[in-house]
Amino acid sequence: DYSILGYHPVKIGDEFTSDISRYRVLRKLGWGHFSTVWLCSSLISGQFVALKIVKLGKNYTEAALDEISILRLLQEDDKGYPVDDSPVVSLLDHFTIQGPNGTHIAMAFELMGENLLHLIFQNKSQKFAAASQKEPVSPYLLPVDTLRLIIFQLLQGTDYMHRHSVIHTDIKPENILITHKAEISGDIFPLKIPTKFQILPSQPLHQSTSAEEPIEIKVADLGNATFCNLHLSDHIQTRQYRAPEILLGHSWGALADVWSIGCLIFELLTGDYLFEPNLGASFTKDEDHLAQIIELLGVFPSMEYAQDCERYRKYFLDNNSLRHISKLKFWSLESVLEEKYKFDMADDNIKLLCDLLLKCLRYDLSERYDCGSLMAHPFFKKDAKFDQRECDELPNNNFNVPGFTCEEQAP
Ligand code: ADP
Ligand code: MG
């Protein structure tokens, strides 16, 4: 029931009026923890928009007002990008709607297509179907060129936010949207993912790597975004994408987004979560999460790091091992990709991706790469070849990002 959960009850054909337009609801596009999102047409301009109607409640309303002011800040200060090319989804209008139980905030956004979670699901089920038919299946979930474009634009969008002193804090597949350029006719709007972005499992890898038309994505859902010099909360990020500094109560900054991007890249590559923590009989979800991180990346660096963490003592013993989980199975990223996912580790792309991923997943915030620096990674070069030295020598300019490791103090 929509109203019990605080969502505004919306019916197809409902109309909403703002200062500048009148919108008619055509169909539902999606929903999240904060809102429901509807395809609407503007009865004034004829334009199609995505109308996000936020749930009732003080916290949701406050978050929505923050989302609006952050989006406006990003748009007003739009130095380099025309609105259509902005790597962040554009806000077109906002107003309030009187519901039966109170006032909802509504935001009209430029219309986008499906989110990346849908793309992942669709390709995963295709792959699964092919495998069950005993067809040969590529280890890649998406064509490499599509993957390259998605990751590059994700870095670009996040870098754009970071350079405007904004941290997303909730990067995950549901919040990254694919641009939709097709003509819309009538009120039927399928929003299918064009097959060109799907990998056909029976195709050999090399044929399926050249996408016909480049995929375009934008960063969306700034409902949890925060400022680099004014963190609105320390309880940030969706579980699977949550950085170790957040789990441990270390200071954090813009580079928390980069950890989430690392987790997302793995998911785009394999279709699986990188970390999927569970509650156990003798340990918490956070402890399982830390164990999984350590199994992949090794032990936390030093006692210096521990000293900066509010909750390090809660989870670790003096000898740096976990209090409640003793048996760890170390399994490096490279081995996971090779042994579990059957990637060919002689493939240059997978080696480059592995390097890129590990640069997103550094514990030490001064060593974790920022998005702008990662955009220069050799993986994004045409006909990318793996060269260890080139990877090692990639400059890390993370110190140029405001508040990259901690809440920046006002001058
Ligand atoms: P929440 O804060 O509730 O998570 P989001 O902004 O993430 O809200 O929107 C929820 C879902 O609605 C998204 O995952 C996406 O599928 C869909 N959606 C959001 N904005 C748009 C848009 N501009 N165009 C098309 N679909 C959208
Ligand atoms: Mg969302």
ipTM over 0.90: yes
- 153 pLDDT band (50/70/90 cuts)? very high
What does the mean pLDDT of the chain come to? 89
**Mean pLDDT along residues 154-176:** 97
> Cα(221) to centroid of ligand 2, in Å?
5
CB 297 within 8 A of CB 243: no
The answer on pLDDT for 301 being more than 60 is yes
CA distances from 254 to 124, 169, 399 (A): 31, 8, 11
**Mean pLDDT along residues 345-370:** 97
| Any atom of ligand 1 within 6 Å of the Cβ of 220 | yes
Residue nearest to atom 5 of ligand 1 (CA): 221
Query: Any known ligand binding at 52?
Result: yes
The alpha carbons of the chain give a radius of gyration, in whole angstroms, of 22
Q: What is the pLDDT of residue 243?
A: 98
User: b/e map of 317-354 (b: 16 or more CB within 10 Å)?
Assistant: eeeeebeebeeeeeeebbebbbeebebeeebebbbbbb
Q: What is the largest CA-CA distance in the chain?
A: 67
Ligand located closest to 220 CA: 1
For residue 400, give the nearest of 356, 369, 377, 378 by alpha carbon: 369
CA distances from 309 to 5, 49, 236, 284, 301 (A): 36, 44, 16, 18, 12
| Top-confidence residue, 181 or 247 | 247
| Any atom of ligand 1 within 6 Å of the Cβ of 32 | yes
Q: What is the pLDDT of residue 142?
A: 93
Q: Which residues are catalytic?
A: 170
> Cα(411) to centroid of ligand 2, in Å?
33
| Any atom of ligand 1 within 6 Å of the Cβ of 260 | no
Q: What is the pLDDT of residue 211?
A: 46
Q: What is the pLDDT of residue 179?
A: 87
Portion of the chain with pLDDT greater than 90, in percent: 74
CB 227 within 8 A of CB 163: no
The answer on pLDDT for 82 being more than 80 is no
| Any atom of ligand 1 within 6 Å of the Cβ of 52 | yes
Residue nearest to atom 19 of ligand 1 (CA): 37
- 77 pLDDT band (50/70/90 cuts)? low
Q: Whole-prediction pTM value?
A: 0.92
**Mean pLDDT along residues 276-301:** 95
The answer on pLDDT for 136 being more than 90 is no
Q: What is the pLDDT of residue 7?
A: 86
**Mean pLDDT along residues 49-63:** 94
Residue nearest to atom 1 of ligand 1 (CA): 32
Probe target for ligand 1 pocket from 221, 222, 241, 264, with the most ligand atoms within 8 Å of CB: 221
**Mean pLDDT along residues 152-166:** 96
